[in-house]
Amino acid sequence: MKAELQELLRAALARAKDSGAFPVEELPEIRIEEPRETGYGDLATNIALVTAKAARRSPRELAEALVAAIDDPDGIIEKVEVAGPGFINFTFSNAAWQRRLAAILAEGENYGSPDLGKGRRVQVEFVSANPTGPLHIGHGRGAAVGDALARVLEAAGYDVKREYYVNDAGVQINTLGRSVRARYLQLAGVDTPFPDDGYPGDYVTESARGIFERDGRKWVDVDVDEAVVALGRIVADEQLAGIRTDLHAFGVSFDGFSSERALCEAGAVEHALERLRERGCVYDADGAVWFRSSDFGDDKDRPLIKSDGQLTYFAADIAYHLKKLEAGFDTIIDVWGADHHGYVPRVRSSIQALGHDPARFAVLLVQMVNLTRDGEPVRMGKRTGTFITLKEVVDEVGADLARFFFLMRKSDAHLDFDLELARRQSAENPVFYVQYAYTRIAGIFRQATEKGIVEPSADAAAVTALQTEEEISLIRMLDSFPDVVEAAADTLEPHRIVFYVQKLAGEFHRFYARHRCVTEDAELTAARLLLVRAVQMVIGRGLGLVGVNAPERM
RNA sequence: GCGCCCGUAGCUCAGCUGGAUAGAGCACCAGACUACGAAUCUGGGGGCCGCAAGUUCGAAUCUUGCCGGGCGCACCA
């Protein structure tokens, strides 16, 4: 509808300019928005307010001139008013809305797929938790946000790849190896102290038991360093497999898992360092090798190679991001926990230093989840080894509810998640509110089928019976879906979909309480069936974009 | 000390990239099923949009400074 109005206004503006009623040098961009108050019509523009200064006319005068120049041969506009300081408010005719519904139905499952991306390639990297233990609830939020973002970008016409970066090299795997070895030796009856910095979780002991049962005392006499490396790898692989299982149960899958170890072994780090050296962004000091990140907006320079000859994690990360860019992605998006925010300028500066446009790199920060049970905070900590895993949450409240909750906030806002409340309220929560709307529509069609009513085919003539405020409101709601998808993709804010879908469901429940779809009036029945079919389709699409199921029955 | 994020109804949060009388859910109060599922609907009370300046036709939204909360500031990962 916006597009149609835009066309009318563009033509009107040109005519008004030619006749001298709209004295501006250049035709301004026409911005159309939905007014907050329904009393202000369906759509409004502030064009007269914006151009008043340049045109040296009062906004209202300009608005009147523009309105007078509008030519509306198809009868789209029912009413147009100049209001307040100079807004122009448009109310569309029911006939126009009916045509709009027919068009939406004609688009079918493609509806709400604005071609914003035009096939451009985007990589979304998310979760990327170290394979040193199970995913916890914070990773769950990252998974929900990253996956929903990927789905939204796909809907908006981008060619999206989902990627998980596996930190399977370096200190943390060594720590894991030492932890498992200690537990293993303890099981084998060898008195061994558990490392101070070891991972205390029960899963470490379980892994050790598994190895002991499988391999017996095989590792007892193996050289310490060798055993630590080997056991670390075994358990890391095991953990990664568990992570993939948990993610699968959560409805999240990846196109690729990129291994840090493989990256290093392939010489990618040397390649990246070489590129940085060529560009003069590297220097030696205090026995270490440094990157001049402060030349590119970072607080200070960062070490790439430590004085003991070890590569830093950052060096591997530079190599990894370089590899992504060289792989031909137009945009790379990282979804990180907000506690890593200090890392953003560093990585961005490395991208710039390597001669790539830093605008191709975006980071979506996901804030912490404040987990409670009956209002009491649930302590989370690697050190204490107590944390709630994603699997536990999914088992307790279900994947749909968890995903929906994770996406009910802007990702950069803290999220309170009360397990007990989520479980208890599972009969009356926003997820079911939306799913119930979908289910109710399925029920309408079941009823229609029982009565032998065949679903009519869609065209504007078939829906002329839709006249009530609730019906037109629903169409208006449906009409804005593509804009919501576009905005969500543009701003990387998948939570907008969740809010939209709740609002649409609310609009539907209101309609449902007031009007019957299956009636004695065949024409009205046909029209309403088409309307709710469109509503069902859009709710289904919206839920699909955030990875939540749309059930026929609940 | 420096940096990033947040501060909107009793609680949890939206607010469409600067618009008109600031919204929703929960909670509380009062109503609605002999018809497509009441997991629903209708009505009601509730607000110095943290505080103070600035930018302009116009600010919850942009700028600056304070106040409060969270998170970061390693030759860690």
Using the CB atom, is residue A33 less than 7 Å from strand B? yes
**A552: which nucleotide lies closest, measuring CA to C1'?**
B37
Alpha carbon of A154 to those of A115, A143, A495: distances in Å? 10, 16, 16
In this complex, the answer to whether residue A28 has its CB under 7 A from any atom of chain B, a nucleic strand, is no
CA to C1' distance (Å), from A341 to B5 = 9
Q: What are phi and psi of A287, to 5 degrees?
A: 80, 0
3-state secondary structure of A376: strand
Q: Which fold has domain A2-92?
A: Gyrase A; domain 2 (3.30.1360)
Which candidate, A357, A360, A352, A346, places its Cα nearest to that of A316?
A: A346
**Which residues in range 440-479 of chain A are in contact with strand B, contact meaning CB within 7 A of any of its atoms?**
440, 443-444, 446-447
**How many Å is the maximal CA-CA distance in chain A?**
97
- Kind of pairing between the strands at A256-259 and A159-166: parallel
A114: Cβ under 7 Å from strand B?
A: no
A29 Cβ nearer than 7 Å to chain B strand: no
* C-alpha torsion sign, points A289, A327, A345, A353: positive
Alpha carbon distances (Å) from A378 to A133, A473, A527, A547 = 18, 43, 52, 27
Q: Which residue is nearest to nucleotide B71 (CA to C1')?
A: A339
**Whether A299 CB is under 7 Å from strand B:** yes
For residue A508, pLDDT beyond 90: yes
Q: What is the pLDDT of residue A45?
A: 92
Residue A379: predicted pLDDT: 61
Q: At what angle do helices A224-249 and A171-187 cross, to 10 degrees?
A: 100
Spacing of A415 CA from B22 C1' in Å: 23
CB A538 within 8 Å of CB A155: no
Task: Give backbone dihedrals phi and psi of A268, rounded to 5 degrees, phi first.
Answer: -65, -30
pLDDT at residue A329 greater than cutoff 80: yes
Q: Percent of chain A scored above 70 by pLDDT?
A: 97
- Give the CA-to-C1' distance from A282 to B64 in angstroms: 37
DSSP A44: E
**Nearest nucleotide, CA A491 to C1':** B17
Residue closest to sugar C1' of B70 by CA: A414
Q: Give the pLDDT confidence of A127-178 residue by residue, as tens digits.
A: 999 999 999 888 999 999 999 999 999 999 999 999 999 999 888 899 999 9
Q: Each residue of A348-370: pLDDT tens digit?
A: 999 999 999 988 999 999 988 87
Closest residue, CA to C1' of B26: A429
Alpha helices in A372-429 (DSSP H): 390-397, 399-406, 419-424
- Which pair of structure tokens corresponds to residue A198? 């070891």
pLDDT at residue A369, rounded to an integer:
84
Whole-angstrom distance, CA of residue A273 vs CA of residue A262: 17
* Torsion angle defined by CA atoms of residues A500, A503, A507 and A509, in that order, rounded to the nearest 10 degrees: 120
A88: left (phi over 0), alpha (psi -120 to 50) or beta: beta
Which nucleotide's C1' sits nearest to the alpha carbon of A314? B77
- The string of DSSP letters for A254-314 reads -SEEEEHHHHHHTTHHHHHHHHHHHTT-EEEETTEEEE-GGGGT-SS-EEEE-TTSPBPHH
Residues of chain A above pLDDT 90, percent = 70
Determine if strand B comes within 7 Å of the CB of A553: yes
> What gap in Å lies between CA A293 and CA A276, rounded to an integer?
11
How many whole angstroms separate alpha carbon A342 and alpha carbon A358? Answer: 16
For residue A443, pLDDT beyond 90: yes
- What per-residue confidence (pLDDT) applies to A386? 60
- CA dihedral A147→A153→A155→A159, nearest 10 degrees, is -100
Q: Distance (Å, rounded) from C-alpha A546 to C-alpha A234?
A: 34
Residues 6+ apart with CB under 8 A from A150: A124, A126, A160, A162
**Distance CA A500 to C1' B51 in A:** 33
Cα of first residue to Cα of last residue in chain A, in angstroms, is 34
Nucleotides of strand B under 7 angstroms from a protein beta carbon: 2-7, 12-17, 19-27, 35-42, 57, 70-77
Domain A428-545 is found in CATH 3.40.50.10740: no
Looking at residue A353, what is its pLDDT?
93
The nucleotide closest to A337 (CA, C1' atoms): B71
* H or E, element range at A37: none
pLDDT band (50, 70, 90) for residue A475: very high
A378-435 pLDDT tens trace: 765 554 556 788 998 898 888 999 999 999 988 888 888 877 777 765 556 889 899 9
Closest residue, by C-alpha, to the C1' of B7: A413
| A320/A72 Cα distance (integer angstroms) | 56
**Alpha-carbon gap, residue A478 to A129, rounded angstroms:** 38
Specify the amino acid at residue A493.
E
Residue A264, pLDDT above cutoff 80: yes
**Cross-strand pairs, A160:** A122
* A368 CA – B65 C1', rounded, Å: 29
pTM over 0.80: yes
φ and ψ at residue A553, rounded to 5 degrees = -135, 155
Strand B–CB A130 distance below 7 A: yes
Query: Is any atom of nucleic acid chain B found less than 7 Å from the CB of residue A113?
Result: no
Q: Is the C-beta atom of A365 closer than 7 angstroms to strand B? A: yes
The DSSP annotation for A162-183 comes to EEEEE--SSHHHHHHHHHHHHH
A286 CB contact with strand B at below 7 Å:
yes
What radius of gyration, in Å, describes the C-alpha atoms of chain A?
29
Asked if the Cβ of residue A409 lies within 7 A of any atom of strand B, the reply is yes
Give the strand pairing for A121-125 and A43-45. Answer: unpaired
| Distance B42 C1' – A510 CA (angstroms) | 10
User: How far, CA to CA in Å, does A334 sit from each of A51, A123, A269?
Assistant: 40, 8, 19
Amino acid whose CA is nearest the C1' of B4:
A341
Instruction: Spell out the domain ranges in chain A.
Output: 2-92, 171-249, 428-545
Element (DSSP H or E) covering residue A546: none
Which nucleotide minimizes the distance between its C1' and the CA of A483? B16
What pLDDT is attached to residue A234? Answer: 95
A37 touches strand B (CB under 7 A): yes
Q: Tokens 């989840």, residue?
A: A369
Q: What is the mean pLDDT of residues A224-248?
A: 95
Helix axes A390-397, A137-155, angle to 10 degrees: 70
Task: From the CA of A355 to the C1' of B18: give the distance in Å.
Answer: 36
Distance A440 CA to B37 C1' (A): 7
A27: exposed, middle or buried (C-beta count within 10 Å: 0-12, 13-18, 19+)?
middle
Residue nearest to nucleotide B3 (CA to C1'): A342
Q: Tell me what pLDDT residue A415 has.
A: 84
